[in-house]
Amino acid sequence: METETIIGLVVGLAIGAFILVVFGLILQWLWNSTLPEVLGVNQVTTWQAIKIMFIASMLFGGHRVVVPDDAGIDTAAAAEAMPGLAIPD
């Protein structure tokens, strides 16, 4: 691997980890400032908030898959096979 590729990978992972922790802290703050008073539940830690985000993304569709236009997928056949699926043009 080239040095620039390794540096880019490390920087990308660091930015991703930073964003994950920031969203975890925001979720923790929202949870701890609202739900214990309203529902009487326990407060959560930052790691528990991050786990809640992962569970919510699995349950509510945060795992979108983006397929590039040149992937060779026949969108007409996919739309015909799955009529309820909205496939962008």
Residue that wins the pLDDT comparison between 89 and 2: 2
Is the CB of residue 79 less than 8 Å from the CB of residue 56?
no
Element (H, E) at 45: none
Following CA atoms 45, 49, 50, 56 in sequence, which dihedral angle do they give, to the nearest 10 degrees?
Answer: 160
Average pLDDT (29-43) is: 93
**Percent of the chain scoring above 90 in pLDDT:** 51
Residue 24's Cβ-count burial label (10 Å; 0-12, 13-18, 19+) is buried
Answer whether residue 89 shows pLDDT above 60.
no
Mean pLDDT score of the chain: 82
> Does the pLDDT of residue 61 top 60, yes or no?
yes
Give the other-Cβ count within 10 Å of 79's Cβ: 13
| Model confidence, pTM | 0.61
